[in-house]
Amino acid sequence: MLLLLLLSSCTAYRKTVYMQDPDHPQEAEYSTMLAENAIRFQPDDILSVSINCAGHPEIAEPFNLPLQPVAESYGAEEYVDMHVGRQTYQVDKDGNILMPVIGKLHVAGYTLSEFENKLREILREKYIKEEADPIVTVRLTNFTIYFLGDSDRRTGMLSVKKDHINIFEALSIQGDLSRDSKRWSVRLIRPLPDGKQKHVRLDLTNIDIVSSPYFYLHQNDMLYVEPTKSSLLRQDQQNFYLITSLSTFILSMATLVMYFKNLN
């Protein structure tokens, strides 16, 4: 019995602890694929593009969309920020956006920094040559991650405010995983630009996850966390106990009713 208990404890440990390293180093460095796995724009993305010129705002103004009121929510229990921001561009099915003065620009396939550099070069070469140095700021406003499964924790969607996020950062913001989750088999569903979907199973208990090309998440990624069979069995047992208790209560009440009828 003691041996079975030890074996079950070891199994539970291997299936629960994140980023396990078989070598157990006290200190180590692991390479990631952040540079190779940068977010690239694709059709239906929504971009915020702002162009400024230090000391010469009148030069940059024709290249910007008009300002409009913007409301940003920072969580149901936090606050809503009301401010004024630039209108956004939606990338069309051909991967283009239409900007004032400049016209149509192809953006699909570019990273955020690559498109900023491209737009800055266009402004310097064709429009703003000597008057001022253009400052270009681009943001992906639809960087959203979706979560399914693991009903004991928060599910739904997460709006990302920076240009990259890894899977552990996203899960920690959502409240981490319960002990009943299949941490060794988390399904990642990633939409592709051609309309297809890529399905990948990730093992979060292995240190190799940090070197995976799927360690950093992309826009519209969906994470499905499956519950273990033991958690489903416990739920079935709870339902069974509830039904049994309710049936016992009804039977007891019926017995009491029959008993008092017989007394009368």
Domain of 96: which CATH number?
3.30.1950.10
pLDDT band at 23 (very low <50, low <70, confident <90, very high): confident
Residues 162 and 206 occupy one common structural domain: yes
Asked if residue 243 is part of any domain, the answer here is yes
pLDDT above 90 covers a percentage of the chain that reads 42
- Provide the number of structural domains found in the chain: 3
The rounded mean pLDDT for the chain is: 82
Above 50 in pLDDT, residue 232? Answer: no
- Examine the domain organization and report whether 155 and 219 are in the same domain: yes
- Of 140, 158, 174, which residue is a domain's last? 140
Same-domain pairing of 52 and 129: yes
What's the CATH number where 192 sits? Answer: 3.10.560.10
Say if residues 88 and 46 touch (Cβ distance below 8 Å).
Answer: yes
Residues 149 and 200 in one domain: yes
The band of 140, judged by pLDDT with boundaries at 50, 70 and 90, is very high
Residue 56 pLDDT > 80: yes
Contact 39, 219 (CB under 8 A): yes
Q: Which of 189, 193, 192 is nearest to 93 (CA)?
A: 193
Specify whether 199 is located in the same domain as 156: yes
Same domain, 220 and 244: no
Report the C-alpha gap between 39 and 112 in whole angstroms. Answer: 7
Q: Which tens digit of pLDDT belongs to each residue from 95-128?
A: 999 999 999 999 999 999 999 999 999 999 999 8
Of 140, 157, 172, the residue at which a domain comes to its end is 140
Q: What is the model's pTM?
A: 0.73
32 within a domain of the structure (yes/no): no
263, 214: one domain: no
Residue type, 256: L
Number of alpha carbons in the 13 Å side-chain half-sphere of residue 211 = 7
**Residue 235 scores a pLDDT above 60:** no
Range name among 84-88, 148-152, 205-209, 237-241 with the lowest pLDDT average: 237-241
Helix (H) or strand (E) holding 181: strand 181-191
Higher pLDDT, 85 or 18: 18
**pLDDT average, residue stretch 191-212:** 92
Sheet of 134-140, strand order: 88-90, 46-53, 134-140
- Residue 40 inside a domain? The answer is no
Phi, psi of 228 (to 5 degrees): -80, 165
pLDDT of residue 9: 47
Determine the pLDDT at residue 5: 45
pLDDT at 236: 45
- Do residues 113 and 88 both lie within one domain? yes
Q: Note whether residue 29 is domain-resident.
A: no
Domain holding 216, by residue range, is 19-24+143-227
Q: Are residues 179 and 108 both part of a single domain?
A: no
